[in-house]
Structure 1
Amino acid sequence: MAQSIYTVAILMMAVIGVSAGSLPPQNYWHSVLPHTPIPSALRQRFQSDDGATVGTSQGVVVNVGTPGVGVGVAVGTPGTGTIVNVYPFIYQYAATKTQVHDNVGSALFFLEKDLLPGSKMTVHFGKTTPNVAFLPRSVANSLPFSSSKFSEVLSRLSLKSNSKEAAIISQTLKTCEEKPVKGETKYCATSLESMVDFATASLGSRDLHAISTEVSKPNSPKQAYVIEQSGVEKVSDSKAVACHAEPYAYAVYYCHASHATKSYLVKLSGTDGTKAEAVVVCHNDTSSWNPKHIAFQLLKIRPGTVPVCHFLPTDHVVWAVDA
């Protein structure tokens, strides 16, 4: 039986000696960003009051997205024979015809001109990774996190090299080691503290707000949503930092900053009565993206022609400077 990501995290903490007296990562957040509320996407990754790791018994699954709703884009992991999903928010990857076919009719990507009150979009809002906890930075920094030390990574996480979990760990490491596209600064944060540092350094300010997608019915299905009147609020007009949750044995976020982006907070109403306040990121310059990226195939456009937008899942975060 595949070892669950929850069990891996618990065993890892026991092996490396995370004590009950370790300062919680949120203490660092409050010291650096005292006026910035912590979004729900990050709050759910803290340890509970009794010291137990917030996690899931579902384990690391090969399909880290939600089938058929446009969250994951599958790519092969060299040497493993396993197909592992990566996010469509990693702009170096191409999509297959099957993935494009499965996402036709979903508003995974859309054009900025369609971000208007009254617009109808079919989408699913949900998490894309198991809900594992943040490690304190001192602990995260003591663990190997690179493809060159993959054997040691698996040993520390008590994973077998031929397991599906190992294949997913491998893909996350490779994703974190990809070169950024033109105009992008990227970083994989293995702790909440390092995420805070990257966001403040990239945006040149500590007067920030961090937002994540909120849904009134967390388990609501894929459905048609309508953008409410006065439901489009611009959060950032130029530069923002987006942090995407990656599948790993503890909380890891792929963060990237770009000057050529806009971010919005959009209020939507679903056909079943679900209300969503969704984060949208729009990219003004897509000229460096893979020409076969799923956005271009779905929208039938070419790289670098028009701004491309996408919603963020509920476990991802966008940072912007307070107006």
Structure 2
Amino acid sequence: MARSLAALLLLLLVGTVASGYQYEEGSVGRTFFLQHDLYPGSNMTLHFTRAAPGAPSLPRARADAIPFTSAKIPEILSLFSIPAGSPAAAAVRSTLAECEAPRFPGVAAQRCATSFESMVDFAASSLGTRGIRAGMTKLSREGATPRQAYVVESVVPLPVIGRDMVACHCMPYPYAVFGCHTTTAAVFTKLGVTPGTVAVCHFLPQDGKLWMRK
């Protein structure tokens, strides 16, 4: 039986976001659908993966003093006492490779921010103002949620000044790193669960942030 889930879910239009960031298999970030599918009473099967305890966030001065390049991987692994052949080391290599990759087609600006301050600065610079706010996906229930069917209770578009926004996603690393990119996606408030978008879209995972003008 489909469950109703009271939640604030932010939606991204993949067609315009063109994000290269990867999400956990089966998570809401990997579930794609169309806007016309998003309406009260519609339903879909989703898996809300809980954001794991985040890596420590470093002050910008500390983060900027640490090498953040594939050329210094041995030094980085040594600094954080990470065994070279471990899954954690593979995550470091993967994140650095993704951060150093060419900008994804259709994305005006893209950056990996190694501190909260640098993430805010990137968002403000991209949006052309320091007057910005961040939206996040929030669930009303605590604890793990299995992959199951949900039904949408309501859909309320959020007003976004200028339509352009900056999406930031947490990336696997010894400390907090945010993969950020510009987007002109539409954003919706949803109480419950389910589809939506003229282009292809997906929900913003719980550990992501969507920056927009106030």
Q: Which residue identity lines up with residue 106 of structure 2 in the other structure?
A: G
Whole-angstrom distance in 2 between the partners of 1:149 and 1:128: 29
> 1:90 aligns to what?
20
Instruction: Write out per-residue CA displacement over residues 113-145 of structure 1, whole angstroms, 9 at most, x where no aligned residue.
Output: 212222212112233554222100000000011
Equivalent residue for 2:89, pick from 145, 158, 166: 166
> 1:307 aligns to what?
199
> 1:254 aligns to what?
179
Instruction: Write out per-residue CA displacement over residues 225-281 of structure 1, whole angstroms, 9 at most, x where no aligned residue.
Output: 22213x32234362111101111111111001024x2222222169xxxxxxxxx99
Q: Which residue identity lines up with residue 233 of structure 1 in the other structure?
A: P
Report the TM-score when normalising by structure 1. 0.54
Secondary structure in 2 matching 1:153: helix
Query: How well do the aligned residues superpose, as a CA RMSD in angstroms?
Result: 2.7
> 1:178 aligns to what?
101
Give the Å deviation of 1:89.
4.4
Distance 1:169 1:281, change over 3 A: farther
Give the Å deviation of 1:222.
2.0
Secondary structure in 2 matching 1:210: strand
> 2:34 aligns to what?
111
Equivalent residue for 1:226, pick from 133, 147, 151: 151
> 2:126 aligns to what?
202
Whole-angstrom distance in 2 between the partners of 1:319 and 1:168: 26
Task: Report if aligned partners of 1:110, 1:309 keep a CA contact under 8 Å in 2.
Answer: yes
Give the unaligned 5+ runs of structure 1. Answer: 1-87, 94-98, 271-279, 283-305
Task: Report if aligned partners of 2:32, 2:201 keep a CA contact under 8 Å in 1.
Answer: yes
**Counterparts in 2 of 1:7-18, with a 5 A limit?**
none
Task: Report if aligned partners of 2:19, 2:104 keep a CA contact under 8 Å in 1.
Answer: no
Whole-angstrom distance in 2 between the partners of 1:107 and 1:254: 16
Name which structure has the greater RCO, CA cutoff 8 Å, separation 6+.
2
Q: Which residue identity lines up with residue 224 of structure 1 in the other structure?
A: A
Task: Report if aligned partners of 1:235, 1:262 keep a CA contact under 8 Å in 2.
Answer: no
Whole-angstrom distance in 1 between the partners of 2:52 and 2:196: 20
Instruction: Write out per-residue CA displacement over residues 48-86 of structure 1, whole angstroms, 9 at most, x where no aligned residue.
Output: xxxxxxxxxxxxxxxxxxxxxxxxxxxxxxxxxxxxxxx
Report the TM-score when normalising by structure 2. 0.79
CA radius of gyration, larger in: 1
> 1:320 aligns to what?
212
Instruction: Write out per-residue CA displacement over residues 180-199 of structure 1, whole angstroms, 9 at most, x where no aligned residue.
Output: 22231111111000011011
**Counterparts in 2 of 1:32-43, with a 5 A limit?**
none
Distance 1:173 1:281, change over 3 A: farther
Secondary structure in 1 matching 2:163: coil
The answer to whether 1:240 aligns with 2:165 is: yes
> 2:60 aligns to what?
137
Give the unaligned 5+ runs of structure 2. Answer: 1-17
Task: Report if aligned partners of 1:129, 1:246 keep a CA contact under 8 Å in 2.
Answer: no
Whole-angstrom distance in 2 between the partners of 1:190 and 1:141: 8
